[in-house]
Amino acid sequence: MLDIKWVRENLAMVREGAQRKRIACDVDRCVALDDERKVVQGELGEANHEQKQAGQKMAKLTPEEREPAKAALSELKDRIRGLEVREREIKEELHDLLSRVPMPPGAEVPDGVDDTENVELYTWGEIPMFDFEPKDHVTLGLDLDIVDFKRASKLAGSQTYILKGAGALLELAVLRFALDYVVKAGFEPMIVPTLVRYEPLFGTAYFPGGEEQAYHCEKDQLYLTGTSEVPVTSYHSGEILDAADLPIRYTGYSTCYRREAGASGRDTKGLYRIHQFNKVEQVVISRNDEAESLEHHQFILDNAKAILEAMEVPYRVVNVCTGDLGMGQVQKFDIESWMPSRGGYGETHSASRFHDFQSRRLNLRYRDENGKVRFCHTLNNTAIATPRVLISLLENNQQADGTVRIPEVLVPYMGGMERIEKR
């Protein structure tokens, strides 16, 4: 969330940022409410002072003077109650409107309407060339008996899956390899709740606006998270950290859930767009310093790239355009992995920096060397998400005999298995 004082000082930038992100918000109403809030607070202060003085004078009045004074004091109390109600209404409306004002994108973010206008920065790896007719991951998985969509649908409906045998082992291998990598890079591992209250989702800027994509457990007023970013970034909410302890690096492992509302018929076959998946997430909480944020952003992006390179997955990195950015993101890089059945790249990772947008909503602060309390900067990145990345691993490593080669770095995690063969 943006500070109203900062909004007022940067009105043109805020308006332009919302337009560039294609996010509707009423900045002018925010300013008008802030103006009214100041007036109401001034009147309330004066009325409270007047009430205090009237109360002090009451004891000195004669009986004849006291009755009209009581009536005037009663009217003053009614006015104070009215002003308090109005002040509360203004604060609530201003808070709601400010929660919908997006963080302006960085100047280095390209303009665009949607993901088709994201800008490719570079590619890595060689696209596989097959001297046989390659299969897609659905056919491969069924032929090798490592995935079951039909029985999963019987149990849980559409856009679900069951990994079995070597398929289950491969997913666990990928997750554990990624987790081990980022732990060695200095991230503290966390296994976090997947059911959370509204506040962490608001704090990380998934709400308001993302309710349609979340599973809501209405009886308990809890929500299933779509990423461990939500509980991990919220872990220190309401706290004042010490600058000497920053940056803090956490890696959260969790199962994730997304309704994929509006995705009917779009990438819903196989493992690409499903309701339940697993993810290893990198989260950085840092000082309020733009240059440091840029360094952390590159660092978490490099970790994700290194994991894919170790697994021999060809990929590209794109600079996400304004229309494809979320509410709080200053800049986001997506990594898209090569998927032969799509004839192109498919998104598997996102790396975002938020400056203090999330920390203001979470009241996540630190005390700097001069004793000043400041809001932290936050960043996050997907170290790996499965099973989507399995599409690339299965399709890129398929062999003419129908088997799938296991990338060398994953072999130890597969108990020495070098190929997935039909049982």
User: What φ, ψ does residue 244 adopt, rounded to 5°?
Assistant: -65, -20
The DSSP 8-state label assigned to residue 358 in this structure reads: H
The distance from CA 366 to its chain's CA centroid, rounded to whole angstroms, is: 21
Among 341, 350, 352, 392, which one carries the catalytic annotation?
350
Residue located via tokens 């950085």: 284
The answer to whether residues 401 and 131 touch, using CB atoms and an 8 Å cutoff, is: no
| Residue of 142, 219, 137 lying closest to 397 (CA atoms) | 137
The answer to whether residues 258 and 223 touch, using CB atoms and an 8 Å cutoff, is: no
Q: How far apart are CA 362 and CA 221, in angstroms?
A: 19
Q: Find the Cα–Cα–Cα–Cα dihedral 292, 296, 297, 300, rounded to 10°.
A: 180
Q: How far apart are CA 382 and CA 351, in angstroms?
A: 7
Classify residue 93 by burial, with Cβ atoms within 10 Å: 0-12, 13-18, 19+. Answer: middle
Among 50, 84, 309, 347, which one carries the catalytic annotation?
347
Q: Is 273 a catalytic residue?
A: yes
Among 20, 37, 316, 388, which one carries the catalytic annotation?
388
Among 86, 273, 374, 405, which one carries the catalytic annotation?
273
Q: Is 86 a catalytic residue?
A: no
User: What φ, ψ does residue 397 adopt, rounded to 5°?
Assistant: -105, 15
Q: Is 171 a catalytic residue?
A: no
The answer to whether residues 37 and 111 touch, using CB atoms and an 8 Å cutoff, is: no
Distances (CA, A) of 292 to 79, 246, 251, 334: 50, 11, 19, 20
Among 20, 37, 249, 258, which one carries the catalytic annotation?
258
Q: How far apart are CA 390 and CA 140, in angstroms?
A: 11
Q: Is 350 a catalytic residue?
A: yes
Classify residue 127 by burial, with Cβ atoms within 10 Å: 0-12, 13-18, 19+. Answer: exposed
Active-site residue list: 258, 273, 347, 350, 388
